[in-house]
Amino acid sequence: MTATTDGSTGALPPRAASASDTDTHTPVAAGVQDTAERALRRATAFLLARQDAEGWWKGDLETNVTMDAEDLLLRQFLGIRDEATTRAAALFIRGEQRADGTWATFYGGPPDLSATVEAYVALRLAGDDPSQPHMAKASAWIRERGGIAAARVFTRIWLALFGWWKWDDLPEMPPELIYFPTWMPLNIYDFGCWARQTIVPLTIVSAKRPVRPAPFPLDELHTDPGRPNPPTPLDPLGTWEGAFQRLDKVLHGYHKVALKRLRRAAMNRAARWIIERQENDGCWGGIQPPAVYSIIALHLLGYDLQHPVMRAGLESLDRFAVWREDGARMIEACQSPVWDTCLATIALADAGLPADHPQLVRAADWMLGEEIVRPGDWSVRRPQLPPGGWAFEFHNDNYPDIDDTAEVVLALRRVRHPDPERVERAIARGVRWNLGMQSKNGAWGAFDVDNTSAFPNKLPFCDFGEVIDPPSADVTAHVVEMLAVEGLAHDPRTRRGIAWLLAEQEPSGAWFGRWGVNYVYGTGSVVPALVAAGLPAAHPAIRRAVAWLETVQNDDGGWGEDLRSYPDPAEWGGKGTSTASQTAWALLALLAAGERDSKAVERGVAWLAQTQRADGGWDEPQFTGTGFPWDFSINYHLYRQVFPLTALGRYVHGEPAVLRTGAS
C-alpha cells in the first residue's frame, strides 16, 4: 500500500487538524462532540494515507496457521520447498504457538487439534526436533486429544499424501460427482461456491490416492503407533449422518470396481471444469485453498510444473504471502480489496470528506473497473439474469457476491464522479443483478440463489466448516439498505426481504451474524437497513434491538463478542472484550435507531476516542470476521479502521452521506 501520490491528505472535516490533535488520548471532559470530532479527524487522515495509488485499500486478512502449514506441505508434495520460504513460514508458525504447546484458530480462542497437528508437521518439515520443548508439548497435547485419528478429514487428507494416514480410512468423494445434473441431490452446485471449488479437485485427489515418501515418521502423534488408524464408530442408521456413513462404505467399494474409462472421463471433465475457472491472475476464486487443491489435482493428471496453468497457479500462491518485518511469512486465505475499498469509501464519505474529493473519485474509478460483466457459476441457477456485480478479491470473475455488490453500490452513491452516466449504468446493473439473486424465501445468500440443501453438511467428507450458502440476515440487510437508497423501499421484493429480516430476529432482540462476529454484527447490519427502508425508530423490532445492545454493552463503554457465541450463544452472545469494529457496529445500529443522545452512545463514542492510537488508528488483535461460523475465523485488519470512522462520522454529521436517497 502507498500513500497518495498527489501529496494531499484531503479535506479533514469539520476543520483543519491542529497540533493538539496529536495527543494520545482526548479527555472525555472536553465533551463528547469535541471528542468525536478530534477522533474523526485523526481517523480520516489515517485512512486516507493508506490508499494505494491505484485507488484501492486492502488490509491484511489474517486467519490461522493451517494456511501456512498447508502451503509448506504443498511445496513438499510438489518437490519445490525451499529453505528460505520454509524458514520464514516456521518463524510465523512458532510465533503463533501458545504456552501450552498448542495453536488456536483465532486470537484468545481454545486450542484446536487439527491446527496443532498441521502446525506441528510443518515445524517438523522445517527441521524442529520432536524432543525440543515446544514440540514435545505439542505432541503430548495431540496424543491426549486422540491423536491424528481425532483430527478433521482435511488434516488427514494432507497426511495421507505422505503416507502418514491411510486413504482407505478417509471418506470417499468420487469424481463421477461432476456428472450429477443440477436437479440431483449432492450435485456440485448444491455446495457453496467455496466448497464446490475445493471438492471438485479433491475428487481427483481422492480417486488417485497419491502417496509421496514421507520425510519422517509421525509415531509421536498417534495414541497407539501400532494401531494408528482405529475404526470410526458409526452413527445410528436412522440418522442422516449414519446413512451417509454407510453410503461412504459403498463408495469405498465402488472405488475398487469403478470402470476405468468412466473414471478417467470423469477426472478429465473435472479438470476441464477446474481450468475453465482459473482466473486471469492464475488463482481460483481468489482464495487460497481451492488454488492449492486444484494445483495438486492437475499435477496428478500429468500437468507438469512448467505448464502455463500450473505456473500461473503457483505464482498466484506467492501473492497470498505477507512478509513481516521480523522475516516471518504469513499466508492469507484470501484478499479483500473490493470489500475494503467500498467500506473505506463509505467511511470517508460519512466522515465528511467532500463527495468529489480526488481520493474518493480514484476509489470509485477503481471499483468501476472491477465490475464483473460476464456470467459465472451463479448463472447455473439464474441462466437468464444479465451479469453485473462485484467480487471480494482482485480477480474472481466467476464468483461475484451479493454483499460486495450491495456495498459497492452504497459506496458509489457517495461519490460525485466526473462521469455520472458511467456510474449510473454500473449501479443499474448491480441493482438488477442483486434483485435477480433473491432466494425464494425473500432473502439473499452471499454467492448463490437457494443454496440451502441439507445434504452436503451431512457428508463425512465435509467436516471443515459450512459448505452451503443459505440466506443470512447481514447480507440481506445490506441489500435492503442498498435498495432503499435506490428508491426501491416499497418494491415488493424489498418488502419480502424486510419481512424475512423481521421474522429472523432472535428472541433477545438481536440478529445472527453469518459473515461477522456475531449478533453484534448482525444487529449492526440490520437496524440501519430497516430504518433506511422506512421502519420508524419506534418500531418494536428496533426497540428490542436497542434494548439488547444496551444490555450487552461492556462496563468500559465498548462492545465485543467472542467467536464462542457461535457454538454457545446463551453464554457468549454479545459478550467479549471490547473491540473497535464491534463497538462501531453497535453504534451504527443505535445511531440509526435515533439514540444519538443516549448514554450508551456517548459511552461508546468515548471508548472509541480513548482507545484510538496517536496515529489515528486502533489496535484489534481479536478476530471479528467470519468465514465459517466457529470453524474458520478472520481478522480483517482494516475493520478496526473503517467501521469506527463510519460510526464517528455518523455521530458527528448525522445521516449517511449518500448523494441520492430514494423516495420511499
DSSP codes of every residue in 488-526: -TTSHHHHHHHHHHHHH--TTS----SSBSSHHHHHHHH
Check: CB of residue 532 under 8 Å from CB of residue 555. Answer: no
Other CB atoms within a 10 A radius of the CB of residue 99 amount to 7
Least confident of 573-587, 604-618, 646-660: 646-660
Name the band, by pLDDT with cuts 50, 70 and 90, for residue 466: confident
Distance (Å, whole) CA 326 – CA 260 = 51
342 with 385, same domain: the answer is yes
- Whether 8 maps to a domain, the answer reads no
> How far apart are the C-alpha atoms of 379 and 399, rounded to whole Å?
10
Contact 386, 43 (CB under 8 A): no
Name 469's bridge partners. 451
Among candidate residues 461, 32, 525, the one with its CA nearest the CA of residue 241? 461
Lowest mean pLDDT among 183-187, 428-432, 461-465: 461-465
Q: What is the pTM of this model?
A: 0.92
Compute CA distances 434 → 23, 427, 460, whole Å.
45, 10, 34
Q: Are 363 and 441 in the same domain?
A: yes
For residue 8, the model assigns a pLDDT of 34
Residue 6 lies in a domain: no
Contacts of 365 (CB under 8 A, 6+ apart): 55, 417
Spatial CA neighbour of 312 closest among 266, 265, 274: 274
| 265 within some domain | yes
* pLDDT (average), residues 100-107: 97
- pLDDT band for 256, please (50, 70, 90 cuts): confident
Query: Domain check: are 54 and 148 in the same one?
Result: no
199 and 97 share a domain? Answer: yes
Residue 2: pLDDT band by 50, 70, 90 thresholds?
A: very low
Catalytic residue among 403, 404, 469, 474: 403
> Which of 20 and 89 is assigned the larger pLDDT?
89
Show which of 331, 354, 374 is a domain's final residue. Answer: 331
State which residues form the domain around 83. 62-331
Q: Over range 2-16, report the average pLDDT.
A: 33
Q: Is residue 14 part of a domain?
A: no
Domain boundary among 312, 331, 350: 331
Tell me, yes or no, whether 45 and 118 share the same domain. no
Cβ contact 201:175 at 8 Å: no
Q: Both 98 and 238 in a single domain?
A: yes
pLDDT tens across 591-609, in order? 999 999 999 999 999 999 9
What pLDDT, on the 0 to 100 scale, is given for residue 436?
98
Contacts of 281 (CB under 8 A, 6+ apart): 312, 316, 319, 394, 395
Q: Which of 174, 121, 172 is nearest to 151 (CA)?
A: 121
4 part of a folded domain: no
How many residues does the structure list for the chain?
A: 664
Which has the closest alpha carbon to 63: 648, 632, 659?
632
Together in a domain, 85 and 215: yes
Confidence of residue 324 (pLDDT cuts 50, 70, 90): very high
Q: Which among 419, 343, 413 is positioned nearest to 659, based on CA atoms? A: 413
38 and 66 in a common domain? no
Residues 75 and 134 in one domain: yes
Question: Is residue 448 included in any domain, yes or no?
Answer: yes
Query: Could you tell me which residues come within 8 angstroms of residue 470 by beta carbon, excluding any fewer than 6 positions away?
Result: 439, 445, 451, 452
Cα gap 468→448, rounded to integer Å: 9
Separation of alpha carbons 272 and 266, rounded Å? 10
Whether residues 566 and 520 fall in one domain? yes
pLDDT of residue 333: 95
Q: pLDDT per residue over 124-148, tens digit each?
A: 999 999 999 999 999 999 999 999 9
Q: Is residue 522 part of a domain?
A: yes
pLDDT digits (tens, 9 = 90+) for 264-289: 999 999 999 999 999 999 999 999 88
pLDDT value of position 232: 76
DSSP letter (8 states) at residue 178 = G
Give 544-594 pLDDT, tens digit per residue. 999 999 999 999 999 999 999 999 999 999 999 999 999 999 999 999 999
Q: In what order do the strands lie in the sheet with 625-628?
A: 61-62, 632-636, 625-628
Domains: count for the chain: 2
Residues in contact with 233: Cβ distance below 8 Å, sequence separation at least 6, in sequence order: none
- The whole-number pLDDT of residue 1 equals 37
- pLDDT of 12 > 80? The answer is no
Q: How far apart are CA 489 and CA 498, in angstroms?
A: 9
pLDDT at res. 226: 79
Enter the DSSP assignment of 231: P
- Residues 167-218 have pLDDT tens digits of 999 999 999 999 999 999 999 999 999 999 999 999 999 999 999 999 999 9
Residue appearing with cell numbers 469539520: 14
- Report the CATH number that the domain containing residue 121 is assigned in CATH: 1.50.10.20
Q: How confident is the model at residue 660 (pLDDT cuts 50, 70, 90)?
A: low
pLDDT digits 0-9 by tens, 491-529: 999 999 999 999 999 999 999 999 999 999 999 999 999
Mean pLDDT of the chain: 92
- Is the domain of 470 the same as that of 549? yes
Residue predicted with more confidence, 254 or 303: 303
CA atoms within 13 A on the CB side of 106: 22
**Residue 403: active-site member:** yes
- H/E element holding 635? strand 632-636
- Same domain for 320 and 298: yes
Identify the domain boundary among 331, 352, 380: 331
Q: Is residue 345 part of a domain?
A: yes
244-267 burial, b at 16+ Cβ within 10 Å, e below that, comes to bbebbeebbeebeebeeeebeebb
573 forms beta bridges with none
